[in-house]
């Protein structure tokens, strides 16, 4: 049979056969039962606000509340009072925030924090704590507590004495950020609790929630959205002027504020559908999140040691095949590999199944696959046998296809060829033509730039995304890269990455986790080590979510807002930073157990705490994976995809930084969504990796073909790319930068508009009729001015008339 093929084809078939046999004995880990969403469960998001070092402060908050409560109310419990008494006491605490004495103000703030924590001393279960948290927080918001907290936070940000004291200290601890932490804790609990959707909420609570959402995204707090103020805290921290800022809490509050005001991934999809309908574009072919949730993870590529081991087993099997024919039947009765035939029959039968669960790779037919993970019926998406994605064809793809076709048939004009094209079977390319919102926005911007006078005034919808962009735009000048909030976020991400090494010039992100007195016992040291690692993981989670949300919302609002932020990230070395993050044992990172469940809020304030031992700390929890770490990895991969998509120069950066082996190692994580974004990044650079790499990674190539969307003229596997031009990073980025600057100047920089395009008043009567306010010294010396400038100068009337 092989003799009919070319030598190279014979080699490829033999290679595929060897890869298939090598995969038979690989130990398969089960698919990770991970559901990607905007956030983790509410209890997990609450617990990550507090470090384990802050544990003793729960009792301190309770003490402050009870002292205030006993001073004004009888010995009854908070949960026994009626709504009017609750509101009266909340108003008294709010008045206490306006006192001048810092210690008194801090005591009242701790009492309010205890209310926001659900008055846990009077509760017997975690569910009861969460119930009273929700009730108390809506009460606090209704009496105006959040606005008072924002004013106090502004005072603490501008507290130069605290900043200068922290700068001079050799070591910063929790005690240096007590006031800030209490305020940020209350604000985070309010935002995180109110954004939770509860069907049983009262109608007035729903009104309060929507009002709070609008206020949080509007420039009502110090004439700027709350997110812009938090961005300023990040910038100030990274510049070294405020090293005592509790950066984890700032980033968590910033993330949840953006998520609450702009919306999560489901809201993004709804906005996208609405915008396409307004622009007259056809509806989206599918919901990508639903498609990905229905996909199965691929088997990870075999490592070198696995390949060698399986080749040795295959050689032993071939040696056994030389047994005499009369003993072959007896051998087959005990041969463990004989069962492969039945499995092949089962796979052939599965081909008739149209569900995506039956999807297997051709080179994996002989593998023992783990049982599929059951999905809810509502989340199922059925496709015909084949690729899961609907085709998409860009206008540029069609033009390239027509151009290459016309080169074969000289004499055809474009119009005539289009008529012929519509009569052929491949006219489906027009059916699947996809016009993105970004293409419409680019075309409109080009029209505004070409016709600034006749183009009319652009109607800009002042949504929360637009207000946020306008708020951070003045603080992002291109000549002040060190003060760029995105770059500041990357500096924190670099400090929190597991692969980063401590440097003298790096920022200290552990200011809000280190205690005043360092641990003295082994158990205390182990607990602090777990706390520090958990602290870094939460920071990475928050930053990755912030960057991804901003990129997606800016891209939907206007493509040049997205490109402006994306280019800042690229120039700040975001691409090598993410690759550096993944250049680690990613399976160890995802399965890390840096948590102590008995110390998590609200469990620790309701139950009796057991005695901690070194063995219990080492064992960790029983979870299959760490939700926040897998969430962070997927977010970073999505950011990398957004930065490099359709950007040839940035794709070449992936090749130059040797990202292929790093990304390939990430495929060991058996989670469909993470593998999809890794395969996307590998697909765009496959054509540049060489023939030998493609031959040595046939299993990865097969996974790309099975999982990733393909385009018209998409020869990603061969290297005959039309865009395979010389790598001119500077020219491509400079052209993009010029378009971004023209967009920002036209829409936002009204002071530096072109004077040639400003209206001119040519009416002599209206010009002379305008009232001009002359300075006082001119009016006093008006006679002297007339004598010097008018009467004493001769006037040649003949020359003037000519």
800 within a domain of the structure (yes/no): no
Predicted confidence (pLDDT) at residue 376 exceeds the cutoff of 60: no
302 within a domain of the structure (yes/no): no
Give the other-Cβ count within 10 Å of 753's Cβ: 12
pLDDT tens profile 307-340: 566 666 666 665 554 444 444 344 343 333 333 3
Predicted local confidence at residue 339, as pLDDT: 36
Q: Which of 291, 756, 245 shows the shortest CA–CA distance to 510?
A: 245
CB 173 within 8 A of CB 516: yes
* Domain encompassing residue 186: 42-279
Predicted local confidence at residue 730, as pLDDT: 80
pLDDT tens profile 269-310: 999 999 999 999 988 888 888 888 888 887 776 655 555 666
161-175, 190-204, 525-539, 708-722: segment of lowest average pLDDT = 708-722
Predicted local confidence at residue 799, as pLDDT: 78
Predicted local confidence at residue 254, as pLDDT: 95
615 within a domain of the structure (yes/no): no
Instruction: Tell me, rounded to whole angstroms, the distance of Cα 638 from its chain centroid.
Output: 7
Predicted local confidence at residue 736, as pLDDT: 93
pLDDT tens profile 743-775: 998 888 876 556 666 667 777 777 677 788 888
213 within a domain of the structure (yes/no): yes
480 within a domain of the structure (yes/no): no
Q: Which of 119, 156, 163 shows the shortest CA–CA distance to 137?
A: 119
Predicted local confidence at residue 352, as pLDDT: 36
> Residue 315, CB half-sphere, CA atoms under 13 Å: how many?
6
Predicted local confidence at residue 383, as pLDDT: 44
**91 and 224 share a domain?**
yes
Looking at 433, 458, 490, which one is the last position of a domain? Answer: 433
Predicted confidence (pLDDT) at residue 172 exceeds the cutoff of 70: yes
Phi, psi (degrees; rounded to nearest 5) at 221: -100, 105
Looking at 223, 257, 279, which one is the last position of a domain? Answer: 279
pLDDT tens profile 464-493: 999 999 988 877 543 233 345 667 788 888
pLDDT tens profile 158-171: 888 888 888 888 88
Give me the DSSP letters along 238-304.
HTTS-TTS-HHHHHHHHHHHHHHHH--HHHHHHHHHHHHHHTTPPPPS--HHHHHHTPPPPPPPPPH
**Number of independent structural domains in the chain:** 2
**Three-class DSSP labels, 698-710:** HHHHHHHHHHCCC
Looking at 236, 261, 279, which one is the last position of a domain? Answer: 279
- Between 583 and 761, the higher pLDDT residue: 583
Contacts within 8 Å (CB) and 24+ apart, 36-39: 36/289, 36/292, 36/293, 36/631, 36/634, 36/673, 37/264, 37/265, 38/259, 38/264, 38/265, 38/266, 39/259, 39/264
144 within a domain of the structure (yes/no): yes
**Cα–Cα distance between 766 and 761 in angstroms, integer?**
8
Q: Predicted confidence band at 9 (pLDDT cuts at 50, 70, 90)?
A: very low
**Residue 574 burial by CB count (10 A; 0-12/13-18/19+): exposed, middle or buried?**
buried
Q: By percentage, how much of the chain surpasses pLDDT 70?
A: 77
Which sign, positive or negative, has the C-alpha torsion 382, 383, 387, 393? Answer: negative
308 within a domain of the structure (yes/no): no
Q: Which residues of 615-647 are buried (b: 16+ CB within 10 A; e: fewer)?
A: eeeeebeeeebbbbbbbbbbbbbbbbebbbeeb
**403 and 275 share a domain?**
no
78 within a domain of the structure (yes/no): yes
CB 300 within 8 A of CB 670: yes
> Once rounded to an integer, what is the mean pLDDT over residues 223-227?
87
């Amino acid at each position: 049979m092989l003799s009919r093929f070319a030598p190279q084809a014979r080699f490829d078939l033999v290679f595929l056969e060897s890869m298939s046999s090598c995969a038979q004995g690989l130990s398969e880990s089960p698919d990770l039962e991970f559901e990607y969403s905007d956030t983790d469960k509410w209890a997990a998001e609450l617990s990550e606000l507090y470090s384990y070092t802050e544990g003793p402060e729960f009792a301190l908050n309770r003490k402050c509340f009870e002292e205030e409560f006993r001073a004004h109310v009888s010995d009854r419990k908070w949960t026994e009072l009626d709504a009017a008494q609750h509101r009266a006491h909340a108003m008294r605490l709010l008045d206490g925030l306006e006192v001048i004495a810092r210690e008194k103000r801090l005591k009242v703030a701790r009492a309010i924090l205890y209310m926001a924590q659900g008055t846990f001393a009077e509760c017997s279960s975690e569910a009861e704590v969460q119930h009273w948290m929700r009730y108390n927080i809506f009460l606090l918001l209704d009496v105006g507590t959040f606005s008072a907290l924002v004013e106090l936070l502004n005072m603490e940000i501008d507290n130069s004495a605290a900043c200068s004291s922290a700068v001079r200290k050799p070591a910063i601890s929790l005690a240096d950020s007590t006031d800030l932490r209490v305020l940020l804790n209350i604000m985070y609990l309010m935002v995180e609790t109110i954004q939770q959707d509860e069907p049983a909420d009262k109608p007035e609570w729903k009104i309060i929630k929507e009002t709070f959402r609008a206020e949080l995204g509007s420039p009502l707090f110090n004439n700027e959205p709350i997110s812009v103020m938090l961005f300023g805290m990040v910038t100030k921290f990274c510049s070294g002027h405020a090293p005592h800022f509790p950066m984890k809490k700032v980033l968590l509050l910033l993330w949840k504020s953006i998520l609450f005001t702009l919306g999560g991934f489901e809201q993004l999809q709804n906005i996208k559908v609405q915008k396409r309908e307004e622009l007259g574009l056809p509806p989206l072919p599918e919901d990508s999140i639903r498609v990905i949730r229905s996909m199965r993870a691929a088997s990870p590529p075999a490592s070198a040691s696995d390949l060698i081991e399986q080749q040795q087993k295959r050689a032993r099997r071939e040696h056994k095949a030389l047994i005499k024919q009369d003993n072959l039947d007896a051998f087959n009765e005990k041969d463990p590999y004989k069962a492969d035939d039945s499995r092949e029959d089962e796979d052939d039968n599965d081909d008739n199944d149209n569900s995506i669960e039956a999807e297997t790779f051709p080179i994996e037919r002989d593998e023992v696959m783990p049982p599929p993970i059951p999905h809810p019926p509502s989340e199922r998406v059925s496709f015909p046998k084949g690729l899961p994605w609907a085709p998409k064809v860009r206008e540029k793809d069609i033009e390239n296809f027509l151009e290459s076709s016309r080169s074969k048939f000289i004499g055809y004009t474009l119009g005539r060829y289009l008529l012929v094209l519509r009569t052929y079977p491949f006219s489906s390319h027009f059916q699947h033509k996809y016009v993105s919102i970004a293409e419409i926005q680019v075309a409109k911007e080009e029209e505004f730039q070409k016709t600034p006078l006749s183009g009319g005034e652009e109607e800009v919808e002042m949504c929360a995304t637009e207000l946020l962009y306008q708020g951070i735009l003045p603080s992002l000048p291109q000549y002040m890269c060190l003060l760029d909030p995105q770059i500041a976020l990357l500096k924190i991400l670099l400090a929190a990455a597991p692969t980063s090494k401590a440097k003298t010039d790096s920022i200290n992100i552990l200011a809000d986790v280190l205690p005043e007195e360092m641990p003295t016992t082994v158990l205390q040291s182990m607990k602090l080590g777990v706390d520090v690692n958990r602290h870094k993981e939460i920071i990475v989670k928050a930053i990755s979510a912030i960057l991804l949300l901003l990129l997606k919302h800016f891209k939907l609002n206007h493509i040049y807002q997205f490109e402006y932020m994306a280019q800042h990230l690229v120039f700040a070395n975001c691409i090598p930073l993410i690759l550096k993050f993944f250049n680690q044992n990613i399976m160890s990172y995802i399965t890390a157990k840096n948590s102590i469940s008995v110390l998590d809020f609200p469990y620790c304030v309701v139950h009796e705490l057991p005695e901690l031992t070194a063995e219990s700390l080492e064992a960790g929890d029983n979870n299959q994976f760490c939700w926040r770490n897998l969430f962070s990895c997927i977010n970073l991969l999505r950011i990398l995809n957004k930065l490099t998509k359709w950007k040839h120069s940035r794709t070449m950066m992936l090749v130059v930084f040797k990202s292929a082996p790093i990304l390939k190692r990430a495929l060991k994580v058996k989670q469909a969504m993470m593998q999809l974004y890794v395969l996307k990044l590998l697909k765009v650079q496959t054509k540049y990796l060489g023939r030998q790499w493609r031959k040595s990674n046939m299993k990865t190539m097969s996974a790309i073909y099975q999982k990733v969307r393909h385009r018209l003229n998409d020869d990603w596997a061969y290297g005959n790319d039309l865009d395979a031009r010389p790598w001119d990073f500077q020219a491509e980025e400079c052209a993009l930068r010029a378009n971004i600057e023209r967009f920002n100047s036209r829409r936002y920089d009204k002071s530096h508009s072109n004077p040639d395009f400003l209206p001119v008043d040519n009416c002599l009567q209206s010009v002379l009729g305008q009232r001009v306010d002359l300075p006082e010294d001119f009016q006093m010396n008006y006679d002297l001015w007339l004598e010097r400038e008018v009467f004493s100068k001769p006037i040649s009337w003949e020359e003037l008339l000519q």
